[in-house]
Structure 1
Amino acid sequence: MKTQIKASIIALSIITLTACNANNKKQNITDTLIGESMIETTSKIDEPNIKVALLLDTSNSMDGLIDQAKAQLWKIVNELSYAKCEDRSPNLQIAIYEYGNDNLNAEEGYLRQVIAFSEDLDEISKSLFSLTTNGGNEFCGKVITTALNQLDWGTHNNDLKLIFIAGNEPYSQGKVSYKDASKLAHQNDVTVNTIFCGDYNQGISIKWKDGADLTHGNYMAINHNKATVHIASPYDDSILELNEKLNKTYVAYGSAGRKKMEMQAEQDDNARSYNKANAVSRTVSKSSRLYKNSSWDMVDAEKESGFSYDNLKESELPGELKGKSKSEIKSYIESKRRSRKILQEKIANLNHKRRNYIATKNNDSINSLENAMLKALKAQAEKKNYKWE
Structure 2
Amino acid sequence: MKHLKNLLGITFCLLITATSYGCDLKAKEPTSTALTTKSITEKPAKQYVKIALLLDTSNSMDGLINQAKAQLWDIVNEFTHAKCGNDSRPLLKISLYEYGNDNLSSREGYIRQVLGFSSDLDEISEKLFSLTTNGGEEYCGQVIQTSLKQLDWGKNADDLKMIFIAGNEPFTQGKLNYKDAATNAKENDVIVNTIFCGNYEQGISTMWKNGATLTGGEYMAIDHNKQIVHIDTPYDDIIIKLNSKLNNTYISYGALGRQKKAMQSMQDSNAAEMEAAVAVKRSVSKSSRLYKNSNWDLVDAVEDNEIVLSELDDNDLPEELQGKSESEINIYIKEKKEERDAVQKQIQELNAKREAYISENQKEETGELENALLSAIKTQAAKKNYKWD
TM-score by length of 1: 0.90
Structure 1 unaligned residues grouped into runs of 5+:
1-5, 25-43
Between the aligned partners of 1:261 and 1:340, the Cα distance in structure 2 is: 16
Any idea what SS the aligned residue of 2:71 has?
Answer: helix
Between the aligned partners of 2:202 and 2:54, the Cα distance in structure 1 is: 22
* 1:10-89 matches, cutoff 5 A: 17-20=13-16, 22-23=20-21, 46-86=45-85, 87-89=87-89
Between the aligned partners of 2:4 and 2:170, the Cα distance in structure 1 is: 10
Q: Which amino acid aligns with 2:129?
A: F
Between the aligned partners of 2:2 and 2:68, the Cα distance in structure 1 is: 16
Note if contact 2:13-2:386 (Cα within 8 Å) is conserved in structure 1.
Answer: no
* Range that drifts further, 155-164 or 332-341: 155-164
- Post-superposition shift, 1:93? 1.2
Superposed CA RMSD in Å reads 1.9
The number of equivalent residue pairs is 365
- Post-superposition shift, 1:367? 5.2
Between the aligned partners of 1:211 and 1:111, the Cα distance in structure 2 is: 19
Going from structure 1 to structure 2, the CA distance change for 1:185 and 1:136 (only over 3 Å counts) comes to: same
- Post-superposition shift, 1:227? 2.3
- 1:313-359 CA distance string (max 9 Å, x none): 11111110011011000100110000000101111111111111112
* 1:1-389 matches, cutoff 5 A: 6-8=1-3, 17-20=13-16, 22-23=20-21, 46-86=45-85, 87-362=87-362, 364-366=364-366, 368-389=368-389
Structure 2 unaligned residues grouped into runs of 5+:
23-42
Note if contact 2:170-2:207 (Cα within 8 Å) is conserved in structure 1.
Answer: yes
Between the aligned partners of 2:8 and 2:339, the Cα distance in structure 1 is: 36
Note if contact 1:82-1:388 (Cα within 8 Å) is conserved in structure 2.
Answer: yes
Q: Which amino acid aligns with 2:304?
A: E
- 1:42-69 CA distance string (max 9 Å, x none): xx95443222221111111111111111
Any idea what SS the aligned residue of 1:106 has?
Answer: coil
- Post-superposition shift, 1:269? 0.8
- 1:281-321 CA distance string (max 9 Å, x none): 00000000000111111111111234211111111111100
Note if contact 1:7-1:138 (Cα within 8 Å) is conserved in structure 2.
Answer: no
Between the aligned partners of 2:21 and 2:382, the Cα distance in structure 1 is: 18
Note if contact 2:8-2:370 (Cα within 8 Å) is conserved in structure 1.
Answer: no
- Post-superposition shift, 1:260? 0.9
Note if contact 2:50-2:160 (Cα within 8 Å) is conserved in structure 1.
Answer: no
Between the aligned partners of 2:245 and 2:44, the Cα distance in structure 1 is: 32
Going from structure 1 to structure 2, the CA distance change for 1:351 and 1:378 (only over 3 Å counts) comes to: same
Q: Which amino acid aligns with 2:193?
A: N
Any idea what SS the aligned residue of 2:161 has?
Answer: strand
Percent of residue pairs identical: 58
Note if contact 1:13-1:147 (Cα within 8 Å) is conserved in structure 2.
Answer: no
Name the structure with the higher strand share.
Answer: 1
Going from structure 1 to structure 2, the CA distance change for 1:366 and 1:322 (only over 3 Å counts) comes to: closer
Partner in structure 2 of residue 34 of structure 1: none
* Range that drifts further, 304-313 or 320-329: 304-313
- Post-superposition shift, 1:14? 6.6
Q: Which amino acid aligns with 1:334?
A: K
